[in-house]
Structure 1
């Protein structure tokens, strides 16, 4: 293939056919990538020079598959939520994907993920979309001297136009992310969503980060007025960004981190150099839509080219380099808030967790696999944060009633500032959780959801399901350290 630009001598992807008729542009700058993305018809320009791209909604879950060399007949891998690929299936997908891109124009970026004292992890990203290369430059750190770059430990190859064959490749034709973790390779086919590229990086980085003593997380960290750091963890949609945004409004310009984070012995570090957020989670979304910002699935007025940030769905994202106000590192968290969306209305709006209860709540909030728990256990012992469970879902068995955002903000603030320390507490007899008996300005029913259930038997059954959910992840998986206790949740009594 014809290759242009500053590049490392290391390919990062064995088997890329040099005799192909395509072309590779290496490590182009942001302005050039913007120009190419527009010229190729990948994006439209907004009135401020932001790039607007349509990739579809995020309604369907990501089809994730992972090589399992021991798998036979596509059996499901037990350690993750990924379906299993045989080695033969992955190699077939890789070969066909390489043959496809060898005839096309590719954009490659040599970037780095900094993990504090652990140093940088070299990553190479290749895509047939110029805007993907721009996203890579926004979210990760371009290497200062690409020509002298280290051998890429991790490689992502993305080809949205390639449609896999399920019978041959073992993944869905509509789009999939296939992982070969042993060789640090991710293949993205049939989808161009920015979140898929980000997910590929998260899966590839987990093992090397853990090996370096860094626990990879998706969360938000804020520094309080007293200097104490709070870390909020939760799945997408749990409300961590909304809660953190409220804390940022109160704390002003105090140091904060958002997105992909690493928690190590020295504290928290930003794994990303940019922002990847839903417009609703950015207080200044219009101001963020400057030249080079990527606006994914955001409506654009065809005449004025002004983005409409209010007419967006769940798949809308704003991707841009992070402002300098975001600190690259913070100290260790004093408070660890784990956000869970309870769809049954059993959990209180806030509870303080014991050391034994924390691992199960961590897995429930983050969706991570058990190998993360050994590192979590070490960090909890080292930094001794106060651990909290925050229910941002339903309450009181009422499908229509959810815990209001302002209530969650009030409770998190009260916990963070020590307001609850001198108050009265109770131990929930069915869940075993330590719950404030009362908080000024908060409906007591939100702290004791059992009051809102019309049928006590239904409540007890739902409470039992929750205790099992919180305990099951540990019961079914071996913890590497052998020292993590099973969550101390009581089983609901009849």
Structure 2
């Protein structure tokens, strides 16, 4: 017996009640058929739908706005990450984008975010294209049919073909992403890049969960062992977050966005949005096997005269992506909820070659390194970079933080303390010298060190303190050469090592000054308000 088709919901609250061509809750097969009929893309040899997102192949951070009103005025960390826009400008854009869609065919999908029902929010996404709706199906949590149709908590409208007028609408360019916490709505226009939808909801959760649920929102991967021990992996691009969290011996909770509630870790999403550059079945077997019918490939290139993807070809962008439901991964945990973590790993690719391959952090050090979010870019990763370049991204996700980083760090510290979590700093970068002189730490060594931390072996060994960073370094580990555990011993010249280590330690302190200054400014403002 076939399932009854979901009834079209009332869209009058969006000024779309009279729209004629509304396609609600289509199946992945129906969306793929529509995408092909609409000439939005083609099928790759794997069966995945391959599309191009147009002019934008990544997010546009300078075109992301938050409506400044009574809810956000005193809460949001305003600046280069969170840019203000007026309620009036939002209303103007809302009327224009809904008028634009009223005469067009569009797609509507109801979904959820947050796998733990105690924190779940309902979402409705209206998209101009079928491929965007397939992305929403893959990335968010798919609801039961009997929960469909009611008015959602949050609504996203994404119309790549609608362009703003910067002079009238208060935007920087024709493309935009605007979050309104009072209206509980996100408007996205002028860009077909699906990551704007994903990160729009992530930004929303980064605001509402800490403030209203006392829950830490995190840009991290998470997995769980057979004994029920949860581990969290933080890390910026290139540090090995996806690789190291994808462990065949452990179940995957999620690869990117999670919440840490009262007694649970839960995935915000129902899918994965993985990078594809240089993807091979040998390096990333789980991701490679997940690229099949129902998956969405973005901005890839094919080998000439074939539909076989050339993952090494980055002519369009280095940010080639694939979106697929999490159950396309063999060892995925469903529902994606587990107990509070036993271990947290901060991953950093230190191109200066001075950080230990693993070290244990105190609560205060954990908060410091969390707010720092350090890694280093190396030559060749971006145009103009000829030597290692320091990169700090607060909480390992500065671009998505509506609140001041100290708010998240305070929550982290409280949870580490109350739940007795062990925090590790792991250098997946270089040893024996800076990038170009030293060598990258072997992946096998890093895996062995993380395994030793997870199984408790590193709780049984002796530690010594690093003289410059004050980190606690293990002096031994099974199957690991003892000399690499102390990075100073891997350098030929100890004096050169101390100079580089001191340079990095100073950079950490200088970066941290911005947070102290912001806190001081806030205190001064609060004092003025009390007078």
TM-score, normalised via structure 2 length: 0.78
After TM superposition, give the deviation of residue 301 of structure 1 in Å: 4.0
Q: Is the 8 A contact 2:7 2:149 kept in 1?
A: no
- The 5 Å alignment of 1:122-141 reads 122-141=122-141
Q: Structure 1 residues 362, 39: closer, same or farther in 2, change over 3 A?
A: same
Residue 89 (structure 1) shift = 3.0
The SS at the match of 2:458 is coil
Corresponding residue number in structure 1 for 2:320: 316
> 2:380 — aligned with what?
none
Answer whether contact 1:77 1:84 (CA < 8 A) is retained: no
Answer whether contact 2:115 2:337 (CA < 8 A) is retained: no
Written as runs of structure 1 = structure 2, the 5 A alignment for 1:331-346 is 331-346=339-354
Q: Which residue of 1 aligns with 2:388?
A: none
Instruction: Spell out, residue by residue over 1:369-417, the C-alpha distance to the aligned partner (whole angstroms, 9 max, x if none).
Output: 3332343233223321101112334556623344443333232222222
Q: 1:354 offset after TM fit, Å?
A: 0.4
1:105 aligns with 2:102: no
Shift of 1:109: 0.6
Question: 1:5-404 counterparts in 2 under 5 A?
Answer: 6-9=7-10, 11=12, 14-18=13-17, 23-55=21-53, 58=57, 62-63=61-62, 64-69=64-69, 78=78, 81-145=81-145, 149-173=149-173, 175-210=175-210, 211-224=212-225, 227-245=228-246, 248-249=247-248, 251=249, 254=251, 256-279=253-276, 280=279, 282-301=284-303, 303-312=305-314, 314-323=318-327, 325-327=331-333, 328-365=336-373, 366-367=396-397, 368=401, 369-394=405-430, 398-400=434-436, 401=438, 402-404=440-442
Contact in 2 for aligned 1:62/1:196 (Cα 8 Å):
no
- What is residue 412 of structure 1 aligned with on the other side? 450
When structure 1 is superposed on structure 2, of 96-105 and 167-176 the one drifting more is 167-176
Q: For residue 133 of structure 1, report the CA deviation from its aligned partner.
A: 0.9
**2:487 paired residue number:** 448
1:418-447: CA deviation from partner (whole Å, max 9, x where unpaired):
232333322223222222245453474664
- How far apart are 1:132 and its partner, in Å? 0.9
Q: Distance in 1 between matches of 2:462 and 2:271?
A: 42
Counterparts of 2:433 and 2:85 in 1: how far apart (Å)?
40
Partner Cα separation in structure 1 for residue 307 and residue 154 of structure 2: 38
| Pair 1:148–1:110, CA change in 2 (3 A) | closer
**SS of residue matched to 2:177:** strand
Q: Deviations over 1:244-283 (max 9, x none)?
A: 22xx13x1x6464333222212221222122221234741
Q: Which runs of 5+ in 2 are unaligned?
A: 374-395, 523-531
Counterpart for residue 490 of structure 1: none
Name structure 1 gaps, 5 residues minimum: 481-494
How far apart in 2 are the matches of 1:412 and 1:226? 16
Name the TM-score, length of structure 1 as normaliser: 0.83
Change (3 A) 1:387 1:77: closer
Partner of 2:526: none
Task: Write 1 or 2 for the structure with the bigger share of strand.
Answer: 1
| Secondary structure in structure 2 of the residue aligned to 1:454 | helix
What is the CA distance between 1:100 and its match in structure 2? Answer: 2.4
Q: State the Cα RMSD in Å.
A: 3.3
Per-residue CA deviation, residues 293-333 of structure 1 (Å, 9 max, x unaligned), is 11112223464422233435531212112227411221221
Contact 1:139 1:273 in 2 (8 A): yes
Contact 2:359–2:472 (CA under 8 A) maintained in structure 1? yes
Cα displacement (A) at 1:41: 0.7
